Amino acid sequence: MTILHIKKALKSFSGISAEVTERVEELLKEISAGREEAVRDLAAKFDGWEHDFIIEADKLDALADSVNPQIKRDIEFAHQQVSSFAKAQLASINEFEIEVHPGVKLGQRLVPSRCAGCYIPGGRFAHAASAIMSVATAKAAGVDKIIACTPPRGEAIDATVAFALRLSGADVVMSLGGVQAIATLAYGLFTGTEADIVVGPGNAYVAEAKRLLFGKIGIDVVAGPTESLIVADKTADPFFVAVDLVSQAEHGFESAVWLVTDDERLANKVLALVPQIIQDLPQPEVAEASWRDFGEIVLCENRDEMLEVADQYACEHTHVMVEDLDWWRMNLRNYGSLFLGEECTVAFGDKTSGTNHILPTERAARYSGGLNVMKFVKVLTWQQLNRSASQKIASVTSRISRNEGMEAHARAADLRLLSYFPETNYEFDVYQHPQPKVGTE
């Protein structure tokens, strides 16, 4: 493969630093030992918050009701999109039973999580869309109890986030952020209910807390900084491409944005346009740094090379502006979410279109998709045999187990063979259990 970097990133995201891991480990130990009191101390230290964490219904209503009517309608539209898609996802998988051998019934059940914890970040931006993505999806899955945590902004949480949480169906809303919020959800602090799964984006400390607690709780994805890749050919408009790259670069100082193209003219035009578009932003510093340090433009020879590069990057968001959208939709394999055509931009998926924006980063798209309704649902299997079927299954199980050296397994099978079919002569060794002696005569 012959590729040329028209622009090469100066840096690459190297994962969570050892310092962050060490600090998060310290905080989790502190919270595990000190429980609610430790959380109160950390909330006061980091957020200046010394009030109750659980927001009472009347206070949540007052915040939600204060939101501008047009913004309310916009959030309602986004909620309808996300919720409808999540319900369709759930409908795409079914409970079933099947008789794979006469008398052997196997099946699966779909069982929602009992409690989900949803984290909604609150740093530079008020993430009403993230509230919808996590809570509405859990609600569509049928989760019994949804506990949402979001950092305070001054004396309360953001009003638009409060409206989105109420609309999406959060059962408990807490004014709490950072590692202490993730630990609170995992340990069931203040609510008495431990979350089975904790989802939602956050900073490096939040992401590392989720990673370290994984196993005690389920999580959605281990997510690093935002990544966005655009695949464009000669049919793409350079200005659209440049604007869309900048739109994702504003997420954070380490947000990587990449262009893969087979058209050198397009590559050079985008290279010239991006700095101009960044400087036109009211606050250009973040996008400027992320483009300088992490932005790339990769020139390939043809469509097949572009496909190979895109799948190697396995990006969180992949946006294709190309001649044959269907070919790309059918052939791309590694991405968190796919955006097809100029009419669709990653910003739509971030806020409104309906697919989830909580997605895998750092090439995790090679093996995982993003947050979806099935993250909140367990697929449980069951089996039931009649006695006739038990003879076949027990015979095979006995032989396989004994061949593996697992004698107790074999004897559990043998017991059924001799109990249910005592007159059968078997062509393999079947263990005769001695009569059990229980108590004394």
Q: Are 319 and 344 in contact (CB under 8 A)?
A: yes
DSSP state of 133: I
H helices present in 48-145, as ranges: 57-65, 69-91, 128-131, 137-141
User: Known catalytic residue: 316?
Assistant: yes
Q: Are 152 and 47 in contact (CB under 8 A)?
A: yes
Q: What b-and-e string marks burial along 222-239, b requiring 16 or more CB atoms within 10 Å of the CB?
A: bbbbbbbbbbbbeebebe
Instruction: Considering the candidates 79, 127, 251, 317, report the single residue annotated as catalytic.
Output: 317
Q: Are 358 and 131 in contact (CB under 8 A)?
A: no
**Neighbouring-strand partners of residue 250:** none
DSSP state of 55: P
CA distances from 285 to 14, 186, 202, 392 (A): 22, 36, 21, 70
CA distances from 393 to 110, 381, 387, 396 (A): 26, 17, 10, 5
Task: Count how many Cα atoms sit within 13 Å of the Cα of residue 20 in the half-sphere of its side chain.
Answer: 17
DSSP state of 333: -
User: Known catalytic residue: 285?
Assistant: no
Instruction: Considering the candidates 250, 254, 288, 316, report the single residue annotated as catalytic.
Output: 316
Q: Which residues belong to the active site?
A: 316-317
